[in-house]
Structure 1
Amino acid sequence: MIRHLVRSLPDAVRRARWVAAVLALVAAPLAAQGPTGKIEGYVRDQAGVAVANVQVRITGTAFATTTNPAGYYFFNSVPAGVYDVRASYVGYKPTETRGFRVLSGQTVTLDFALEQTAVEIQEITVVAAANVLVPRDQVTSKQLIDGSYTDKLPVDRLNQVFALQPGVVASPGTTLLSVRGGRPDENNTYVDGVPVQSGNRGTGSGRALPSLQVGTNAFEDASITTGATSAEFGNAQGGVIAITTRTGGQRFSGNIGFETDELSGRIMGSGFNRLQASLGGPIAGDLTFFVSGVLDGNRFGNFGYRGEEVPAWSAVGVDTTFAIPTSTSATADTLFLPVYNYALSRGDCDAPYVANAADPEIRNNYGYDCRGRLGFGGGSLSNAQVSGKLNYSFGTGSRVALTYLGSRALARGARGIDNTFGTTNTNQVVTLNWNQVLTRSASRQMAIDAYLSYQTDRSINSLLTAESERNSRDPFLGWYVGGFDYEYDDSDFAVTEDLVRAYRVQDANSPITLYDRNNTQQYLAQAGYGFDGGNLVSRGNPGLVGAFGGVPGTLNYATERRIIGKANLDWQLDRYNRLKIGGEYTDSRMDTYANGALNQGFSDIWLASPVRYNLFAEDRLDLGDVVLVGGLRYDYFDLGASKWKDYPRISSAPNFDADNLDQYLEPYTAHDYLSPHIQVAFPVTERTNFRLSYAQQVQTPDYSVALFGSNTDLAITNTNNNYGTDLDFGKTILFEFGVRHAFDDDMVLDVTVYNKDNLANAAGRLIPRIDPRTQARSDLRLTVNQDFGNTRGVDLRIDRRFGQIFNGVLSYSFQDARNTGSDPFTYINFGSRVTSAITGNATPPPQAAQPVGFSRPHSIAAQFAFNFPADYKQGTLAGAIMSRLGIFGTARYASGTPYTRCDPSLDDDLAIVAPAPAGSAAATCNTLGGDFNAARLPAFKNVDLRVTKGLRLGGLDLTAYADMRNVFNIQNILTVFAQTGTTSNARYRTTLAAQDSAIFAQNATANGAYDRTTGDIILPGSDAECGAWVTTGNNPSPPNCYFLRKGEQRFGNGDGIYTLAEQRVASDIQRLATFHISRFTGAGRTLRFGMEVNF
C-alpha cells in the first residue's frame, strides 16, 4: 500500500522533496553514529546534597546551562573533542574539570562536588578528567577510535585502524573492509553526520568510483558500528562508519611532519614520502577554524615480498631509427620509426643480464644508475587529503559549521614509448550544518539540526598526453601535485542524453568510440611493433614496454554529483526521554563511459538521476543504568533511468524505429522498505552490563550493478555480457547480545554473540529469454536479488590501561560467513562457465550457502601505546632514555581466505591464481573434487611498530621517530596457483618457455634465420641489416629483428647466434614476474624515519 502511494506521486513533486527535507524534516545526529555527543551529570556539595541553579559552562564555547533542583544538568549536541567544563555558584568554590573527552554519538557523565565557602571570589579548583574506557550507554556493538591516538599509530589510512576491530575483516593491501561477513561495499560512511558513500560503489563491471579518504590528522574521533544500527543511520547491510572531523579551539595549535623510507635502501625502501600539516584556532569570539592536509607519494610503486628482485625497464633514449614501408608493395608509404634503449630501473643491479651483457652499453645500463627497487620512469602512486572547517557557536549551544573535505589519488603506468595510461580518483564534499536550540531548561531542550551537503566523485583511466607522460616520470618525492592531462577525458565524450541516445540507436553519424568505428581498416597496421601476429617476439627484452605504435585501448571514466539535505528535530522531553524525528534526501546525477577505441564489445554507457530518501522516528529512554532505544525507518529509492525492455535489443530489434525509441525501453521501478530497530542495555551487576540489539537493515543496490548494460545492444557485444535489472534493496536481519564487564576503571571485557541473515542480495544468474530477432532461446547473464546467506560469530574485546603510561586493546573474532556468492558476479564468473558432466549444460547456481571469498574464521588483533612522560624517573639513566619516549604498535593474525582448487591435469587451468587479485574477476576452472572455496591460504600475520622520542626546543615540541612495517619481514601469501595450491607451478613454467621458443621459431623461420636442428636463430650482423625483416604475415617489421639482436646481446654471448638455451634465459627473465614470490605476497619489511613539530 505504501509503495503504491509513493509511486503514484507526480515525478515533479518527488524531485522537489530535497528542499522540503532541509526546511521541514526534523531530528538529531545524536544516535549511535552522530558527530556530536552528550554531557550529563549531577552537581552536589561535599556532603552529597544536590545543589540547584549551579552555572555549568563548557569554557571557550557558547554551551551554558544551570542545574535543576535535583542538581542535574546536561548538554546536547556537543561536538566531539576534549573540553574544560566549569561549575560555579555563589557560596561555593568554582570547580573546573580539564581534558574531559566528549565522544561522538555517546552520553558521557561528568559530576561535580563543590566546596562550600564564605568567600565569594576564590581560586578555581582544577580537577583532571578521568575519561572512561567504555561509555555506559553503548547499546550496540560499536568500536570507538580516537583521532590523536590514531595519528601516532603506524598507519597511513583510517581503514587500517578499523581493520583491527572485532567483527571486521580486511583485505591486505586494500581499503576494503568486510563487517561480520558482509560484502565490502555493504558499509556506509558518515562524515560529520552526513553520508558520503557514492551510489556507484564499484561492484559493477563499469568504472568504480573511489571512496572519500579522511586524513589521519583531520578527525577528532571515529567509530564503526558492527551491531544493529539505530533508525537514523542506515543504507548499510554491513557496518556504519562515522567520522567526526576536528574543530578549532580557543588556542592556536598546529602540527607539521615529514617521513620517508628513502634512507632505508632498496630492500626496506620503496620511495615513500609523506608530508602532513594542520592548524586550528580562534578567528574572532566563538568563531574558530581548522585546516589540515596530507600528501604522500610512493615513487616506485608497491611491491610484494622481495619485489626489488623483479626487473623493470625504462626507455632512456633512441638507439636507431628504421625506415619502414607500410606494406611489401612497391608503392607503399614509408614510416620512420625510432626504437629505444632500455635501462634497468628496478631489479637486481648485479644480475648477469646487466653485469655480464655482451653489449658494453647494456653493461653500463646506458649510463643510468641501477637503483634496484628505487627505479625511475613512472609507476608512482600519490595520494592527498585536505580538510577545512569553520565553526561558530552562539546562544546557549547553537552553532553553524561549514566543512570542506577533499581527497585525490593518482597512479600511472611505467614509462614506455606510447600508450602510457594514468588514473585519477577525486572526491569532494562541502557540508553546511546549522544546529539551533529552540528552547531549553535544566531538564528539557528542543533543537533543530539541519545539513546541506554537495558532493562529487570522479574516476578516470585514460591515455596520458605525451607532455604529461614526460612531466610525470619522476615527480619530486613521488608527489603528483599538478595531476595528469589525458588525450581523451570526460570533456571529449561527455555522457549526455544525446550520447546515450546515439549509443542506443548506434547512430553512424555520432562519435561514440575514440576512433572511427565505421572505418577500422585504417588502424589494422597499428598492432604495435615488437609483436608478430599478436605474439611478443622480444621475450626477456625490455621491448615488452617498447612495443609501440598501437591504438590506445579504452577511455573509462565515471562521475557522480550529489545534493544531500538532512534535517532533524531533537526533543529532550524530560530527564529520561529523548525523541528524534527526521529524514534525509539525496538527489544524484551519475554517469559512466567505458568503451574501446574501436570495438564496443562489453562497453557500457549510461546516465541516471537517482533519488533516495528516508524518514525515521526514534525514542531513547535513558534511566541511567538502563537504556532502551526503539525506532522505525522508512527507505525509498528510484534509479531515475530507463533500460532495454524484456531483451537487450534496441537498435537491432525487429523493425527498429529510431523515432519511436521509447517503445524499446522501460523505466526502472521505485522501491521502498519499512524497518524496525531496537536496542537495549541494562545492568546485571554493579560492574556488568548486558545488551541486546535487533534491526532489519536495508541498502540500495550498487547503482552501477543495476545500470550495467542498460543501454548495451546485444548486436555490439554477446551474451557473455552482464546486464543489470530492476534490483530491489538488499536486506539483512541482525540480532546480537553482548556482555560488558568492568573489572575496574582500567580494564573492560566485552563479548558479543550475533546472528546475521543476508537476504536478497544482488547475484548474477543465467536467465533464459527468447531473442525477438531470432526467436531462439538464449541464456542472459542478468543480475537479480537471489543471493542469500548467514553469518554467525563471536566478537571479544579487552581494553586495558596502566595509569598514563600504557593503553592497549586486544580483540578476537570468530566468524562463520556463508553466502551463495561473495559479490554480484561470483556465479557468473565461475559456476556459470563450468559445464556439468551430467547435463552438459552450465552448472546451476548454488542452492546452499558456501564460504564467502573474504571469510576469515579466526582473527586476532592488537593495538597498544606506551607513553612515558617528561618527568619519568628524573635524574636517572632510565629517565634520560625513557623520558618523552613513545612506543606504538599494531598486530594482526587472521585465518587465510578461501579459494577453489583447480584440476591439476588440465593445461587450460595452468595460469589460474586464486583467490583472484583485488580488482579482477575469479577465473573459471574445472574444480578438484567440485568443492567451491574448500581450500584456504596460509594465515595472515603482521606486526607494525613506531618508536618516537620527544624533544623540547623553546616553544616547539619536536618528535623524531622510526616507523617499521612488517617488523618480522613475514612472507604473507595472498594468492596461489589454483592447480598446485602453492606459489610455484613447474609445468606452467615449462609450457610458457615452449610457447616462447615456438614464437621465436616462427618469426625466425619467416626470415630464413631459423636452424631447425639446433633451434638457434642466426641473426643479421648489424641493425642496418634488419631492414628486410618481416612478420609471419609478411609485413615489414625491422624492429622485431632489432629486439632479437638486443635480446641475444643481453642474455647471450653476443655472437649473433641466439641459441635455444639463451632463448630460455630470455623467456625466464621475461616471465620472472609471473613466478616470482612477490606476485603472491604482501609487502616485506619497510623502514621509515620521520620528524614532526607541534606548536
Structure 2
Amino acid sequence: MVLTSLYSILMFNNLYGDREMSKTKVLLLAIMLAFAPFYLFAQSSGKIVGVVKDKASGEPLPGVNISLDGTQYGAATDVDGFYVILNVPVGVYDVRASFVGYGEVVQTGVRVTADKTTEVNFALEEAAIEGQAVVITAEKPLVEKYTTQSVSLVTSEDLENIPVRGFTDVIATQNSVVVQDGNIHIRGGRDDEVGFYIDGASSVNPLSNTQSLYIIQEAVEEFQVLAGGYTAEFGGANAGIVRTELKTGSKDFKASIDFQTDKFASEGDKFLGTYSYRHHTGVATLSGPLVSDKVRFFVAAENTYQGDRAVRFSKGFDLVQLNGGPLIDQRSTAGANPDTITSYVYPDGFTPKQEEDLWALQGTLSFDLSPLTIRVSSSYSDRTRQHVSGLGFRTPMLDMLNNRYLEDQFTNLLVSTKFTYVVNPKTIAEATVSFFNSQFNYSDSYFGEDWLKWYDSTAVAQHTNGAVQYRDAYRPKDSYFFNGFSFARDGDPVNNYTLRKQNYIGFALNLTSQMGRHHEVKFGGDYRGYKLRQFIISPAAISRLGANNVTDITQVPKADWVSNALPNNYGYDIYGNEADVDKFEDGVKVSQKPYEPVFAAFYVQDKIEYNDLIINAGLRFDYFDSKGRRFKDINAPIDQIVDANTNQLLDEAFVDLDAFQHVSPRLGFSFPVTERTVFYMQYGKFVQMPELETIYAGNSALSRQMVNPRFSFQNPFGLGLEPIRTTSYEIGFRQQLSNVAAFDITGFYRNIKGQVQVDRVEPTNGLTPFNTLVNSDFATTKGMEFSLNLRRVNRIQAQLNYTLTQAEGTGSTRTSAVGALERETPRPTVISPLDYEQTHRGSVILDYRFGSEEGGPVFKNFGANMLFRFNSGHPYTFARSEVGQSDAYASGVDYMTDPRSRRALEPVGSSRTPWNYYFDLRLDKTFKLMEDLQATVYMRVNNLFNTKNVINVYDASGLADDDGFYNNANIEQRNSYLQQYGEAWLNFYKAINIENGQAYWDVLGRELYGHPRQIFFGIKLSY
C-alpha cells in the first residue's frame, strides 16, 4: 500500500506539474472512462456555497477572497458575489471573507457534512484602514434546504456527551433505526439490507452483509444515517446506509486520554442496586501537524475489556442445595464409585466465560500538496471473545465444572487512500484505492487452532497433567447427568472449528464539476474484487472414524472423511490447507478454489440548486458477479448429478451464474418555500445481492444438503440467487418554529421484491427432495418519522425522534417458511407483520450544561445528558408446544425452532411483546488543570432505573417468566419428567430456565430481557 501510494503521488505530480490545463482535463476524462464501471465507494466531503454582499447597499461583491482558516481550501466570488468551495473534508471550520477596502469577517464553527451543501453568506462593511476581523459564531441551520431526503446526523460534539457507547447503541437513537436482538434494521428492512461505510469505503462483510469493523467513538467526526432514499453514488444496500466519517488532523497538537470502568465492586457483589460486569475502556487520541502544516494526522487507540459481555439479568443458585444433597451422576450409578459433585454454585449477577478483549486503532493522514491532496484512512480492530466449551456456546450454567473454553478471534483491517486533484476551482477529480482484510477463527484454550488435538486423549492428558481422562483414545467421557440435565465435565471440548478469511481490493474514480451557479455534475465508478476462503470442520470426526487406528487423516477414505468430518470448505482443502484450485480425488472434491466475486458500478448525477428548487437526479448502473453456480438440470439422470460411490455432487452438474446488471434511477426534490419552510420528495430504485453465505458452500456441504438432506433442512444454501430489488418513495416537510426550534416530518413507503426464502425442490429423477433458498419473499413497509430539534437556550439543548412503522411481508428471515415445508403445508403467500417490526419507536435527548463563566464553583463546566428511549413490542405468534424430540432441559423452548413440534394458535404475528423503556444518564464536570490541560470526571449510567424490559417471550405463554411448560400440569411430558426425576428436577428447571432463561438463550440465541443497570465512572484528560 505504501509503494502504491508513493507511486501514485509521483505519477500525479508528473502528470499535472508541467502540462497545460486542457491536456490535464483530457487526461482525467480518459482515465475516468478507462476505469468505469466500479463499485461502492462514496464521497466523504461536502460543499460550501454562499453570496457576499455590501452590507450597506446589498450589492454583490465580486473578487472577495473566501478561505477556510488553517487549510488550503478557498475560492473567490464571481460577478454575482457567488462562491463555491468543493470537496471540503467533513469537520468544523472557520470561514473567512476578505476584500480590499472592506473589513474582514470570520464565521466560526461552520460544520461541513458529507455530501451536503453548507451555505455561508457574508455582508462586508467598508473600512478605510485594515482592522481586526469581525468574528461571528455560525449556527447550524435548523432547516436544511439543500437536502432532498431525510438524513439523521450524529456529530462528534453529540458523541462527547451522549450516555451510551458503541456504534449500534448510538445509531439506535436515530429515526427509522430498529435494533432487535442486536441486529440493525432500517425502515422495516432485514438486517442484511443495511450498508456501512467508513471514510467513503465499504466496511461490510459480504458473507453476512453486516458491519465488520469496530469504530472508536472518539475517532468519529460524524455518523450519518441515510434511511431509504439516497443518491446514485450509493448502492448495494436497499434499506439504508450508515456512514462514518473519521476526524482529520488539527492545525495544533491535541491529545486526550480517557478511561472508564464499572469495576466498583467485587464479582457477584451488589452496589447501587446492580453489579460490576468487569468492564473497562481506555482511549487515547493524538492529532496535529506532522513535519509541516501541510501534513496532518489523527490517531485514536482503544482497549475495551468486558469480563461479562452478556450483561444480563441473572440470579445465582446452588445446585447441591436445590438437589437436597450431593449431586450423583445418574449415568454412572451402576458402578461401585459413581461420580459425585459436592459443590456447584452459579454466581449472582455475573455470567462466566463471557470475556471479550478488544484492541482497535483508527486514524487519518492528510497531505496538502496543492493542487493535489492525499488522505489516508486506516481502521484496525482485533477482538477476542470467550465462549463456553462443553455443551454449547450459550450454556454457562451447565459448564461451571469445566475449566476449558473456546475463543473466537476477529481481526479486520481497512486502508483507503484518496487522491484529490483540483483541476480548476470548480472541478475536482478523485481517485481512491482501498484494501480490506478480515480473518475469523476459533481457538481452543488447550491447543489453540490445532484442532486435531482437541479430541486427542493423549494430548489432553499431557496438557492437564492427567487431570482430564477420556473414555478411549478420542472420546471424552459422557457429560454429567443430574435430574434430567446434562452438565459439562472438566476438559469437555467444542466440536466445531471455523476459519474464514476475506479481502478485497477496490478502486474508485469520481469527477465533480460545478457548472455555473446552479449545476453540480458528478460522475464516477467503483470496483471491488473479493477473495473469500472458509474452512469448517467437526474435530470429533476422528472418534467417529474409529480413531484408535487413525494416525494420518489423509489416509482415511475421502468419502468417509467428508461424511464424518462434515467439512464446509472453499479456498481450502478438506483438511484445512489453503487451496487455490479445484481438485478431485477418489470421487471427492478434496480442494476447492476460493470464491472471487466482483461488484462494480457506474453513476452519473446532477444536483441542480436554485433558491426555490433543488433537484438531485441520478442514474446508477450496478454489476454483480457473484461467481456462484446453479444446476444445469436438476432433473437430469441422477448419474449425471451424483457420484454413486461417494454420494458427492459432480462438478459437471453445475454451470456458472451469469453476472447481474441493473440500472437504478434516483430522483429527489426540495422546495424551499421560505427560509423556514421546506418540502422535499425522494424516489429511487435500489438493488443488492443477498448475503453471500447463502450462496457459497463447499461441495461436500452442498452434497450433504442435496443428497442426504437430513443434515440441513433448516439452514440450506441457495443456488442461482438473484439480487433483491427495492422501490422507495419519500415525502417530507421541514419547518422552523422559532429561532431555536424546528421539526421535520417524513412519510415513506418501500416495496421489496426477491428477498431470500427457503423452498423445497422435488427432483423427478429419484434424487431425494431437499430444501434450498430462492428469491421468493416480498415485503412492504410504510411509516412516518418525526423529529424536533431545540438549539441550546438557557443551557438546555434537546432532540426528539419518533418513528411510526408498519412492516409486513411473507417472511421475516430466510428460513421463515421451513415449518410449512416440513409439515408439507402451503407456504405463506399473504403478508403478515415482520418479526422485527416495532410500530412505535423513539428517543428524547436532553443536554443541560453550564458554561465556563456561570454556575459558580460547584456547577461551572458541569453538564448532564439524559437519554430516554422507548419502543413498542414486536410481533410473535401464540403457539402450542407439542414437545416432540426434546429433553427435560429444553422442552420449554425446542418447539420454537423445530416446526415438527409446534402448532400456531393464531394468524402469524398477531400478538405483541410488551413496550420497552430505557433511561440513560451522564453527569460530567470539567476542571482546568493548566493553561492547555483540563480534566473531565464523569459518571454514566445505562438503564438508570434498572427496568427489566421484556424483549422476547415464550410463544406458548406470551410471557418471559413462564415458558408454558414448567407450571403446566396438563402436559404429559412434563409430568413424566417430574415422576422420573422428582422435585429436584423442578428446582433445577426453575433456577436454570425460568429465573435465568438458560434454555431460551441456548436454543434460540437471543435474550428474554434487556440489559440491567450498568454504572461507569471515568476521567478524561485533554490537552
Report if TM-score (shorter chain) is over 0.5. Answer: yes
Aligned to 2:246: 245
For residues 792 and 913 of structure 1, the distance between their equivalents in structure 2, rounded to whole angstroms, comes to 38
Q: 2:812 aligns with which of 806, 816, 822?
A: 822
Q: What letter corresponds to residue 793 of structure 1 in structure 2? A: G
Q: Secondary structure in 2 aligned to 1:151?
A: helix
Q: How does 1:505-904 map to 2 (within 5 A)?
A: 528-529=476-477, 531=479, 536-539=480-483, 544-546=487-489, 548=491, 552-597=494-539, 598=541, 600=564, 604-606=568-570, 607-642=594-629, 645-647=632-634, 653-654=642-643, 662-708=651-697, 711=700, 712-714=702-704, 715=707, 717-718=709-710, 720-721=712-713, 722-770=716-764, 772=765, 775=766, 778-803=768-793, 805-828=795-818, 830-833=819-822, 835=823, 842-873=824-855, 879-903=856-880
Q: Write out per-residue CA displacement over residues 934-964 of structure 1, whole angstroms, 9 at most, x where no aligned residue.
A: 2111012111111111111113211111111
Q: Residues 226 and 239 of structure 1 are in contact (CA less than 8 Å); yes or no, is this contact kept in structure 2?
A: yes
Q: Residues 581 and 618 of structure 1 are in contact (CA less than 8 Å); yes or no, is this contact kept in structure 2?
A: yes
Q: Aligned pair in 2 of structure 1 residues 291, 311: CA closer, same or farther (>3 Å)? A: farther
Is 1:150 the counterpart of 2:159 in the alignment? yes
Q: Aligned pair in 2 of structure 1 residues 460, 924: CA closer, same or farther (>3 Å)? A: farther
For residues 659 and 763 of structure 1, the distance between their equivalents in structure 2, rounded to whole angstroms, comes to 25
Q: 2:358 aligns with which of 383, 390, 393?
A: 383
Q: Percent identity?
A: 22
Q: What letter corresponds to residue 621 of structure 2 in structure 1? A: Y
By how many angstroms is 1:1089 displaced?
0.9
Aligned to 2:557: none
For residues 218 and 530 of structure 1, the distance between their equivalents in structure 2, rounded to whole angstroms, comes to 50
For residues 994 and 528 of structure 1, the distance between their equivalents in structure 2, rounded to whole angstroms, comes to 32
For residues 423 and 517 of structure 2, the distance between their equivalents in structure 1, rounded to whole angstroms, comes to 17
Q: What letter corresponds to residue 612 of structure 1 in structure 2? A: F
Instruction: Using structure 1 for the length normalisation, give the TM-score.
Output: 0.75
Q: Secondary structure in 2 aligned to 1:546?
A: coil
Q: 1:108 aligns with which of 108, 118, 121?
A: 118
Q: 2:450 aligns with which of 462, 477, 487?
A: 487
For residues 296 and 416 of structure 1, the distance between their equivalents in structure 2, rounded to whole angstroms, comes to 28
For residues 72 and 36 of structure 2, the distance between their equivalents in structure 1, rounded to whole angstroms, comes to 23
Q: Residues 996 and 1067 of structure 1 are in contact (CA less than 8 Å); yes or no, is this contact kept in structure 2?
A: no
For residues 70 and 915 of structure 1, the distance between their equivalents in structure 2, rounded to whole angstroms, comes to 72
For residues 915 and 40 of structure 1, the distance between their equivalents in structure 2, rounded to whole angstroms, comes to 60
By how many angstroms is 1:709 displaced?
6.4
Task: Count the aligned residue pairs.
Answer: 888
Q: What letter corresponds to residue 1080 of structure 1 in structure 2? A: L
For residues 522 and 893 of structure 2, the distance between their equivalents in structure 1, rounded to whole angstroms, comes to 46
Is 1:224 the counterpart of 2:211 in the alignment? no
For residues 528 and 789 of structure 1, the distance between their equivalents in structure 2, rounded to whole angstroms, comes to 48
Q: Secondary structure in 2 aligned to 1:232?
A: coil
Q: Residues 863 and 925 of structure 2 are in contact (CA less than 8 Å); yes or no, is this contact kept in structure 1?
A: yes
Q: Residues 67 and 73 of structure 2 are in contact (CA less than 8 Å); yes or no, is this contact kept in structure 1?
A: yes
Q: Aligned pair in 2 of structure 1 residues 30, 929: CA closer, same or farther (>3 Å)? A: closer
Q: Residues 96 and 127 of structure 1 are in contact (CA less than 8 Å); yes or no, is this contact kept in structure 2?
A: yes
By how many angstroms is 1:889 displaced?
2.2
By how many angstroms is 1:605 displaced?
2.5
Q: Aligned pair in 2 of structure 1 residues 665, 339: CA closer, same or farther (>3 Å)? A: farther
For residues 893 and 603 of structure 1, the distance between their equivalents in structure 2, rounded to whole angstroms, comes to 44
By how many angstroms is 1:238 displaced?
0.5
Q: Secondary structure in 1 aligned to 2:482?
A: coil
Q: Write out per-residue CA displacement over residues 494-529 of structure 1, whole angstroms, 9 at most, x where no aligned residue.
A: xxxxxxxxxxxxxxxxxxxxxxxxxxxx99775543
For residues 651 and 412 of structure 1, the distance between their equivalents in structure 2, rounded to whole angstroms, comes to 46
Aligned to 2:430: 449
Q: Secondary structure in 1 aligned to 2:192?
A: helix
Q: Residues 22 and 566 of structure 1 are in contact (CA less than 8 Å); yes or no, is this contact kept in structure 2?
A: no
Q: Aligned pair in 2 of structure 1 residues 374, 166: CA closer, same or farther (>3 Å)? A: closer
Q: How does 1:26-175 map to 2 (within 5 A)?
A: 34-47=43-56, 48-119=58-129, 121-171=130-180, 174=182
Aligned to 2:187: 180
Q: 2:912 aligns with which of 901, 916, 936?
A: 936
For residues 622 and 940 of structure 1, the distance between their equivalents in structure 2, rounded to whole angstroms, comes to 43
Q: What letter corresponds to residue 946 of structure 1 in structure 2? A: R
For residues 698 and 946 of structure 2, the distance between their equivalents in structure 1, rounded to whole angstroms, comes to 45
Q: 1:984 aligns with which of 950, 959, 962?
A: 962
By how many angstroms is 1:66 displaced?
1.4
Q: Aligned pair in 2 of structure 1 residues 34, 600: CA closer, same or farther (>3 Å)? A: farther
By how many angstroms is 1:402 displaced?
0.8
For residues 929 and 855 of structure 1, the distance between their equivalents in structure 2, rounded to whole angstroms, comes to 20
Q: What letter corresponds to residue 391 of structure 1 in structure 2? A: S
Q: Write out per-residue CA displacement over residues 864-894 of structure 1, whole angstroms, 9 at most, x where no aligned residue.
A: 3222101115xxxxx3332111111222111
Q: Secondary structure in 2 aligned to 1:977?
A: coil
Aligned to 1:300: 308
Extract unaligned runs of 5+ from structure 2: 1-28, 321-325, 389-399, 455-469, 542-562, 571-593, 1002-1006
Worse overlay, 816-825 or 594-603: 594-603
For residues 943 and 815 of structure 1, the distance between their equivalents in structure 2, rounded to whole angstroms, comes to 22
Aligned to 1:458: 439
Q: Write out per-residue CA displacement over residues 774-806 of structure 1, whole angstroms, 9 at most, x where no aligned residue.
A: x26x43211111111111111111111233722
Q: Aligned pair in 2 of structure 1 residues 342, 1092: CA closer, same or farther (>3 Å)? A: farther
Extract unaligned runs of 5+ from structure 1: 1-18, 203-208, 314-318, 329-335, 348-372, 467-484, 493-521, 836-841, 874-878, 1001-1059
Is 1:280 the counterpart of 2:298 in the alignment? no
By how many angstroms is 1:201 displaced?
1.2
Q: Write out per-residue CA displacement over residues 166-224 of structure 1, whole angstroms, 9 at most, x where no aligned residue.
A: 2221125x2x211111001101112111222121116xxxxxx7621211111111211
What's the C-alpha RMSD, in Å, of the aligned pairs? 3.7
By how many angstroms is 1:412 displaced?
0.9
For residues 748 and 665 of structure 2, the distance between their equivalents in structure 1, rounded to whole angstroms, comes to 17
Q: Secondary structure in 2 aligned to 1:486?
A: coil
Q: Write out per-residue CA displacement over residues 31-58 of structure 1, whole angstroms, 9 at most, x where no aligned residue.
A: 9x63111111122222122222112111
Is 1:346 the counterpart of 2:336 in the alignment? no
By how many angstroms is 1:250 displaced?
0.4
For residues 111 and 915 of structure 1, the distance between their equivalents in structure 2, rounded to whole angstroms, comes to 63
Q: What letter corresponds to residue 784 of structure 1 in structure 2? A: V
For residues 567 and 992 of structure 1, the distance between their equivalents in structure 2, rounded to whole angstroms, comes to 65
Aligned to 1:435: 420
By how many angstroms is 1:809 displaced?
1.2
Instruction: Using structure 2 for the length normalisation, give the TM-score.
Output: 0.80
Q: Aligned pair in 2 of structure 1 residues 899, 913: CA closer, same or farther (>3 Å)? A: farther
By how many angstroms is 1:642 displaced?
3.9
Higher relative contact order, chain-length normalized (CA < 8 Å, sep 6+) = 1
Q: Residues 254 and 280 of structure 1 are in contact (CA less than 8 Å); yes or no, is this contact kept in structure 2?
A: yes
Q: Residues 997 and 1063 of structure 1 are in contact (CA less than 8 Å); yes or no, is this contact kept in structure 2?
A: yes
For residues 125 and 27 of structure 1, the distance between their equivalents in structure 2, rounded to whole angstroms, comes to 48
Q: Aligned pair in 2 of structure 1 residues 100, 339: CA closer, same or farther (>3 Å)? A: farther
For residues 885 and 1015 of structure 2, the distance between their equivalents in structure 1, rounded to whole angstroms, comes to 42
Q: Write out per-residue CA displacement over residues 136-166 of structure 1, whole angstroms, 9 at most, x where no aligned residue.
A: 2110111111023113211221221221222
Q: Residues 826 and 922 of structure 1 are in contact (CA less than 8 Å); yes or no, is this contact kept in structure 2?
A: no
Q: Aligned pair in 2 of structure 1 residues 30, 563: CA closer, same or farther (>3 Å)? A: closer
For residues 343 and 262 of structure 1, the distance between their equivalents in structure 2, rounded to whole angstroms, comes to 25
Q: Secondary structure in 1 aligned to 2:383?
A: strand
